[in-house]
Each structure stands twice: as C-alpha cells, then as structure tokens.
Structure 1
Amino acid sequence: MATITDRTARVPRLALSVSEACEAIGCGWDFFNAHVAPDLRIVRRGSKKLIAITELQRWLDENAERVLEGA
C-alpha cells in the first residue's frame, strides 16, 4: 500500500513559493524581488505567493543572452 508521501512525491509541481523560485534559478531574495518578480505573473492568496514554473521558464528564455562564437 502506498503512503501519502509516496503519492505526493509523484505529483508534478506546477508552482513554487518565492524561496523555492529563488533557489530554482539560483538567486537571492533581494535580486529576485528587484529583477525577476516585476516581470512575472504571481498568484497571490493571502500571504502566500506562488510562481508557476512555466513563468520562471518564460522569464529565463526572454532574458537569456546568446553568446557569439569567438566572443
């Protein structure tokens, strides 16, 4: 019989908390708040803030620079 922990471990994450989002993209809260959060759609319910993983991926894609060969 599967435990609750086993079942929830298999549920894919759709959103992250702010601290998880910071960790996921490798930045601190101050940087995230100043440079990332203004460009994201964030779900707010009470004091909880959730950032969709797809929003983080979109932000990364839109803010990525291409490195030219030989540069």
Structure 2
Amino acid sequence: MPWLRWLLTAFALIFPVLLATYLMRDRPLAQAVSEALAWGGISAWVYVAARVNAVRRGRRCALCEDPSRVGE
C-alpha cells in the first residue's frame, strides 16, 4: 500500500514543522501538540488524496518516481 507510506511520510515531515511553528508563537506545549497533530493529519490526508487522484488519472510525478525506474 503506497498510500500508507505516503501518509506516514507526509505526516512525519509536516508534524515537526507545525509543532515548531506553534511553539515559536508561544503556545502552551499541550495546545501546540494537539494542533500540530490535528493539522498535520489533515494536511497529510489532503496530500495522499491528491496523490491517489493523480495516480488514478495516470499522471506521473518526477519527485515521487522511484529513481531506479527513471526512463522506463
């Protein structure tokens, strides 16, 4: 299931950025974590939905392609 890998990768990249942003805005740690979890999850699902839609339509993504398959 590539969509699960996409979801986990997107969340792992988005969550720390959002958490750092909320902490720099002087939010309490509990609030910063909860908001980063919520918005990180929403953002990751939007990314996965867009990728799944692109794959279904047959669009290729140069950034998402496996480097070993380039040129096929």
TM-score normalized with structure 1 length: 0.29
Structure of higher RCO (CA pairs closer than 8 Å, 6+ residues apart): 2
Higher strand share: 1
TM-score normalized with structure 2 length: 0.29
